[in-house]
Amino acid sequence: MPLTVRRENRHQFTVITLIGEIDRNESSRLGASIDEALREGPPRLLFDLSRLSFIDSAGLRLLVMACSHARRGGGSCALCSLCPAPRKIMDLTGLKAAFDIYPDLGTALDGGPLESTASLRVY
């Protein structure tokens, strides 16, 4: 399934919703959307993964780099609504520790409690 990337400003976040699969063939679409969001000023990126069915190492790299750039630029970055496939990959690679993760989009937008807090800061 090809990747669809939707980007919108909601509350104080730039919400990037990923639908489908991220592999090396589809990663340029995500990279372009991330670059646009980072150019808009100190970003507060929130990646909604509720409809992401697959992510490979190229996609993981983009998420890590986006969070690194956002944090270095005075912004923030978080993930929400991890469905089973991305959650499993992040658990297996240990990269889940690099992200603040909200249980769902509504909780994130309301500033609710995190499901897990980044214990590994990648800059």
pLDDT at 32 (0 to 100): 92
pLDDT at 123 (0 to 100): 54
pLDDT at 4 (0 to 100): 95
Average pLDDT, integer, range 3-21: 94
pLDDT at 43 (0 to 100): 85
SS3 content of the chain, % helix, strand, coil (to 5): 40, 30, 30
What confidence category does residue 1 fall into, taking pLDDT thresholds of 50, 70 and 90? Answer: confident
Taking alpha carbons only, the member of 38, 41, 42, 34 closest to residue 16 is 34
Q: Specify the CATH architecture of the domain 4-109.
A: 2-Layer Sandwich (3.30)
